[in-house]
């Protein structure tokens, strides 16, 4: 592969930069760059701006509003958005359930859901993990019994990101207990306003409400909300997870955070000298930067395969492992850089409207919350231990 941008790609990069300069709301960018928490309105505002530009779905077919960008254009866009402080496009609709609907859904489902996802008229969440069924997802127990033209769903999902904001959930349910566990799973699209659904918050280590429990009690779901055939949900789930793991790599965001880390290290003093002048600390930064460069090249190879119609394969697991390891390493180095100022953690300081007095420099309070939040990165989307098993079985054939 040639990793030098062509003249056409450089023109596109300039177009993206101009768009971000003119259209990205400054208050949202400030929150992102300062590691503040975003609210639902922040995400929706930005995604509707991308919708109006027809840039929200770069990987979709043009028929459904996709930009149909090359892998390099998608990479440029992600990198420039991250550098400018644009929020990540929430993946559950655009990058996760939409590819499943495009690949396996009925024409009626495509016509109904895809325009709504494109315009962020629906907010989706993911109903996969359950208590005891996280890494071993195929052991899930949430049951759906068919009664006429409806399924009756009972069970529980957990760690459901942003379910408290969602009006739709794509959900794996068990419809057959008499077959191999992977063969008895069905993929349903469920309206979160349906009677019988309860959402309960889970407060994470940094004091944030990001994830939830979702309970289903005799929830009626029309059969027309089933994707594909009954009992084939495991196939669709694996397809979706490969897209999720590719996105988790977060190359652009890690580049931005690495630059932020270098800036902090330039300011922080150790024995009267900036920390960046400490040889050991510079070595740690250099090691992460080299790994990030290698991840970027690997990411381009994987999305190139996706562009050829093959879809991301088991190599997406490599992106997930290395991407999350790099994210965690950068957050750990940030903690080291701010030193003692990381200790008096103030959860309120993560609020974008916080006006309190920081302990130490103003960039220190969010660092600890950022560190806590990224502890989960190596678990969600399939734990890194599971990803290593996938690599061993499907790539190395061990």
Task: Count helices and strands (H / E) in the chain.
Answer: 13, 9
Categorize the per-residue pLDDT at 107 as very low, low, confident or very high, splitting at 50, 70 and 90. Answer: very high
pLDDT, tens digit (0-9, with 9 covering 90-100), for 256-312: 999 999 998 988 666 678 888 889 999 999 999 999 999 988 887 776 665 555 555
pLDDT, tens digit (0-9, with 9 covering 90-100), for 195-241: 999 999 999 888 889 999 999 999 999 999 999 999 999 999 988 87
Token duo for residue 81: 């958005």
- Residue 353: the pLDDT is 75
Residues 6+ apart with CB under 8 A from 356: 346, 348, 349
End-to-end CA distance of the chain: 29
309 three-class SS: coil
CA-based R_g, the chain, Å: 22
Q: What is the largest CA-CA distance in the chain?
A: 75
- Residue 118 scores a pLDDT above 90: yes
Q: Which residues of 339-359 are buried (b: 16+ CB within 10 A; e: fewer)?
A: eebbeebbbebbbeeeeeeee
Identify whether the C-beta of residue 232 lies closer than 8 Å to the C-beta of residue 306.
no
- Give the phi and the psi of residue 332 in degrees, each rounded to 5: -70, -40
Q: For the chain, list the domains and their CATH numbers.
A: 7-89 (no CATH), 123-232 (2.40.110.10), 249-395 (1.20.140.10)
- Residue 30 scores a pLDDT above 60: yes
HSE-CB at 370 with a 13 A cutoff on CA atoms is 29
Identify whether the C-beta of residue 101 lies closer than 8 Å to the C-beta of residue 57.
no
Categorize the per-residue pLDDT at 358 as very low, low, confident or very high, splitting at 50, 70 and 90. Answer: low
The alpha carbon torsion through 301, 302, 307, 310 (nearest 10 deg) reads: 130
- Residue 212: the pLDDT is 97
**% residues pLDDT > 70 (the chain):** 90
pLDDT, tens digit (0-9, with 9 covering 90-100), for 381-396: 778 887 788 778 776 7
- Residue 208: the pLDDT is 86
- Residue 347 scores a pLDDT above 90: no
């Amino acid at each position: 592969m040639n990793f030098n941008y062509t003249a056409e790609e450089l023109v596109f990069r300039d177009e993206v930069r101009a768009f971000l300069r003119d259209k990205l709301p400054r208050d949202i960018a400030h929150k992102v760059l300062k590691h503040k928490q975003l609210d639902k309105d922040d995400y929706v505002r930005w995604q509707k701006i991308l919708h109006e530009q027809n840039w929200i779905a770069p990987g979709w077919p043009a028929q459904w509003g996709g930009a149909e960008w090359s892998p390099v254009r998608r990479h440029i866009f992600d990198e420039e958005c991250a550098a400018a402080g644009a929020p990540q496009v929430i993946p559950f609709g655009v990058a996760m359930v939409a590819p499943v609907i495009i690949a396996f859904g009925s024409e009626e489902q495509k016509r109904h859901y895809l325009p709504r996802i494109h315009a962020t008229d629906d907010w989706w969440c993911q109903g996969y993990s359950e208590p005891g069924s996280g890494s071993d997802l195929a052991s899930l127990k949430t049951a759906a019994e068919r009664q006429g033209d409806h399924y009756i769903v009972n069970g529980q999902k957990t760690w459901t990101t942003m379910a408290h904001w969602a009006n739709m959930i794509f959900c794996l349910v068990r419809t057959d207990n008499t077959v191999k566990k992977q063969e008895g799973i069905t993929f349903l699209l469920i309206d979160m306003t349906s009677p019988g659904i309860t959402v309960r918050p889970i407060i994470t280590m940094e004091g944030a409400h990001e994830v939830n429990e979702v309970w289903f009690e005799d929830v009626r779901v029309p059969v027309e909300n089933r994707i594909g055939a009954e009992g084939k949900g495991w196939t669709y789930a694996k397809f979706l997870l490969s897209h999720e793991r590719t996105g988790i790599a977060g190359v652009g965001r890690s580049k931005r955070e690495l630059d932020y880390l270098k800036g902090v290290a330039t300011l922080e003093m150790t024995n009267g000298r900036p920390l960046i002048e400490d040889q050991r600390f510079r070595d740690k930064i250099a090691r992460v930067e080299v790994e990030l460069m290698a991840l970027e090249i690997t990411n381009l190879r994987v999305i190139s395969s996706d562009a050829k119609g093959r879809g991301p394969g088991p190599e997406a697991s490599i992106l997930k492992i290395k991407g999350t390891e790099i994210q965690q390493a950068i957050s750990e180095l940030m903690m080291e850089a701010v030193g003692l100022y990381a200790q008096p953690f103030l959860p309120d300081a993560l609020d974008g409207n916080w006006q309190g007095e920081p302990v130490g420099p103003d960039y220190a309070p969010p660092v600890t919350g950022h560190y806590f939040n990224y502890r989960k990165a190596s678990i969600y989307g399939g734990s890194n231990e599971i990803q290593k098993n996938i690599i061993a079985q499907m790539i190395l054939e061990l």
